[in-house]
Each structure stands twice: as structure tokens, then as C-alpha cells.
Structure 1
């Protein structure tokens, strides 16, 4: 059956339904570009679809309450599991796969990676205990209440679902609001981004999960950082999210899948025009020959390897 790459709205997401899917890729991009993922990430998502994945593009939601957004990702997955099954049956496509929890994968870009990471953290058995170690007791109670309003906390689990992080950015208020005085004022009033970058790092570092996580970074990324930051000043190293994730995930039991590619922070953004990918960003290279583009090939390779690892886990 011929696969047609076409998005349609399902629940709060955009879905490209594959007639013979080998898995489901749930994608969430970064600020602005991720708001319209079917446009700005079209080439990247189409290549994953052509590899045999049903694509779920979750529109980016801007909010300072990142815990709640992470919980909504899980709630959306639960809804889509039923919706995708029904839709596939209607079209005469294979549908049983949508009821298999292990067939779902996550791909994030930029700030979308933070939401995916928080969701994986919430899948741990000890997450409430860890949160109390990383934030004060009053804030920990607020986090639990906020999550419980969306989904029962004990029900959240994406264990066994691989995650691919593209240029992860775990921004806090100063990243969202460039005026430092305003950002610090909001943080002082407890109105800024939560969790903060430091709290996010604490939670991920204290989690026993993240064993099915891969990382792709870009050599000239000055937003999320790059692996070359290890040879730069202490301040640059401290602010490099890519370098932090690389060092942290290396500590997990399985060898880290990681590759740094040429490009800047917005490398995943782009649409195909003939033999080129146009990234719609005049501040970047703007256009790139497909023959010189490696991101999609590496992403597909990593998703396949993560799936093999998942199948071999005890």
C-alpha cells in the first residue's frame, strides 16, 4: 500500500498516518518553529515517515509551567492511542501497533527536549522523592497538584519508549526573556520558568531512567551548545546544555548514542525545494543540498538502534 505523507488534525496534534507503520514517532519542536511543526520541520518529519513511522507532530506550547506541559504530553499520548487505532481501522491500515506501548518513540528539538526529558523523569518510581530533593517542599507540593490536575501521577509512564534529543535546550526564565532584570524579578515572584535549568538538571541526574536516550548536536550551535564547548571557558561549559546532557548520559549503563553534525541550532528546520532543503531562516545558511545533509540519516539510524536496545533490555 502506497504511503501518502499527509497531516490531519487528531486531538490536539497533527498526524501523518502510515498504512504499514513499524512505530510511532511523537515529535515536539522548539519555540516559534515548533508552533507550526508540519510546516517548519516538514522535511525532517517526511523522511521519518518514509522510513515507516506514523508521525505525531505535537504543536509547541509556550508556557512558564513546564511540568504541566510534560504531563499533557502523556495525556495526549493516551488519547491518541485510541484515536489512531480508530482512524487506521477506518482507512484499512494496520492498527494493532497503536495499542503497543513500546512502539512509541519521542523526538524533541531545542526546548521540546526539555518537555520530553521531564516526561521521562516523571515515569520513574521515585520522582516525587527526587523532586523534594531538587526543590523546596512547598514547590514540590505545587508540582504534584499541577500534574494531578492533568493526569494521575502514578499513571504516567513512558518506560520502554526511546527518546532522541536534537540540540536539547533546558531554558530557564533568562533564556525566555532576554532582559535579565525582568527575568530575575519574575523568578523572585515565583512567576518565572519552572523547573529552572538547575532544577531540571538535578531531576535528570537523580533519575535511574534515560537508558534509551540518544543525542544529536550541531557543531556551530550557540543556543544549546555543542561538544566543542568542553575545550572552552568554564562559563561556556556551565551554560552548554548539550555538553551537560552528554556528560550526564554517559553515566548510564548503556553506551550513549551520540553524534555531532555540521550546522547550527535550527538544523532540523526545513522544507524541500527540488534537490535542496530550505531552512526558512535568513540568519542561517538558508539553503542546503540534500546530498550534504546527514541529520535525517543519523536520526533514523539512532531510532532503529534504540529500538533494538529496548527489545534486548531485561
Structure 2
């Protein structure tokens, strides 16, 4: 994929009813973004490059922050409520005028699970979901030191991984899905989710295996300024930066193209 100018100027970030929002001119769709555990409290910083790229492609981005708890059903409900409150405020203030725009869920890691729960437990209309590095491991594997805590009491998420799988199988209603797995991601469970979704929607599930790690979606295209002389440290930094930047840009363009195949990449 070649480097081409972004389709639109990146709009300024706004805080609307507690969500981080990017509003392009004449949006062609709305993205509800939910990030991963611990990095989704400030998505406009941790996922800045990814979200600004999507806004530059004409999508109104609403990133709802997460406060991590063991109750993922409540977290999903809170994320949905925040998203709907933000949409209502944008309509009320005239910042969003066109009704009926397609809504896409975009999630990373735990954010994937929350989008799956939103679309299984609540009455929502989604044009599609983008699920990056899906993770549905039990609490023992997901939370540091929880094994020591569970010596005293059993600790598990609500719903549990097994209950989540059942909810998806019986109630998930979003037909069009993009699953993204990164080659060097050891905690991704997309290969478990993929046959489940394909069994329900055999012609509507796309799967992409991309270079990168579980943390690729939160990578940033940060400039590295070389000193007066090019040192070995500069060489290493440039090499690392080029790899991270290449993986991140590949991800952003893959998502944008799936959302709209007419996107200029």
C-alpha cells in the first residue's frame, strides 16, 4: 500500500458527555470505539493515530472510555449508554445533523468482547463490527496477581468466557464482521471466535492476519529526531519506529478499506 495524503483534515478532539469525539465534515458513518483493558481510560491518547486516521476517512468517531471491573455486562451497558448519550447531545447541538448514518463498532482486546456483548444483550442496530485482537480469557489469565487473590475467593468475569460464547452463539445479531489477528499476539482468541461467527453468517465474516502484536493498535507514529551525528541508538530507534509505523499503518488502512472498499489507500 502506498503512502497517500489523508482524505480529510483531521478534526479537533472534543469531549462530549464524557466521550472523546472526532467530527469530520459530512460524516459518512459513525464509529463507536472501545479499547482494551487499562489502555481505554483515555482513548484519544492511547489510540490517537488509529482514531484520527478513521476520522480523516470521513467517520465520526465516538470513543467511550472504560473503567475496568469484573462485571463486563455492566461495562458493556455503560459503554452503550455513553455512546447513545453522546449521539443525542451531538444531534441536540446540531453538530450531527444527518440521521440514519451507519454505525460500526470497533474494538480492541476487551473492547471486542464488550461490542460482542452489546450486540448480544441489547437492542442495537450495527452496520458491522471490527474486532481487533479479541480476548476472552478468564480472570486468572487476564488480571495480574489474581491467582493470589483467588486463594481466598473465586474471581471471575461476568459473564464468564463460557457464558460469553453462549451469548454470542444464541443472540449475536451483527451480520458483517471483520476479525483481525496479529502474527505475534499470544493472547488473541480470534481463531476461536471466527468459526462461531462464520457458522452464523458464513458469507459475511472477514478475517485478516496482519504483522504486529497485541499492542499494535495503540502504537503511535512518533517522530524520532536524530542528533548532529547518526548514532547506533538512532539507527535502532529508526528501525523500531519503522516497524511499528508500518504495522500500524497497515492496520488502519485495512480497517478503513473494510469499512468502505472505495477508500483511497
Fold shared by both chains (TM-score > 0.5): yes
How many residues get paired? 237
Q: How does 1:122-141 map to 2 (within 5 A)?
A: 122-123=121-122
Contact 1:25/1:54 (8 A) holds in 2:
yes
Contact 1:103/1:161 (8 A) holds in 2:
yes
Compute the displacement of 1:110 (Å).
0.6
> Is 1:186 matched with 2:192?
no
Going from structure 1 to structure 2, the CA distance change for 1:74 and 1:266 (only over 3 Å counts) comes to: same
Structure 1: which 4+ aligned runs deviate by more than 6 Å?
none
Q: State TM-score, norm by structure 2.
A: 0.81
Contact 2:29/2:103 (8 A) holds in 1:
yes
> Partners of 1:64 and 1:205 in 2: how far apart?
22
> Is 1:294 matched with 2:250?
yes
Q: State TM-score, norm by structure 1.
A: 0.69
> Partners of 2:87 and 2:110 in 1: how far apart?
25
> Is 1:220 matched with 2:184?
yes
Going from structure 1 to structure 2, the CA distance change for 1:32 and 1:299 (only over 3 Å counts) comes to: same
Going from structure 1 to structure 2, the CA distance change for 1:17 and 1:255 (only over 3 Å counts) comes to: closer
How much is the aligned-residue C-alpha RMSD, in angstroms?
2.3
Compute the displacement of 1:184 (Å).
6.2
> Partners of 1:106 and 1:216 in 2: how far apart?
14
> Partners of 2:80 and 2:212 in 1: how far apart?
31
> Is 1:269 matched with 2:225?
no
Q: Match of 1:259?
A: 208
Q: How does 1:160-175 map to 2 (within 5 A)?
A: 160-174=126-140, 175=142
Q: Match of 1:152?
A: none
Compute the displacement of 1:182 (Å).
2.4
> Partners of 2:147 and 2:43 in 1: how far apart?
29
Structure 1: segments with no counterpart, 5+ residues: 124-156, 225-240, 277-284, 306-314
Compute the displacement of 1:269 (Å).
0.8
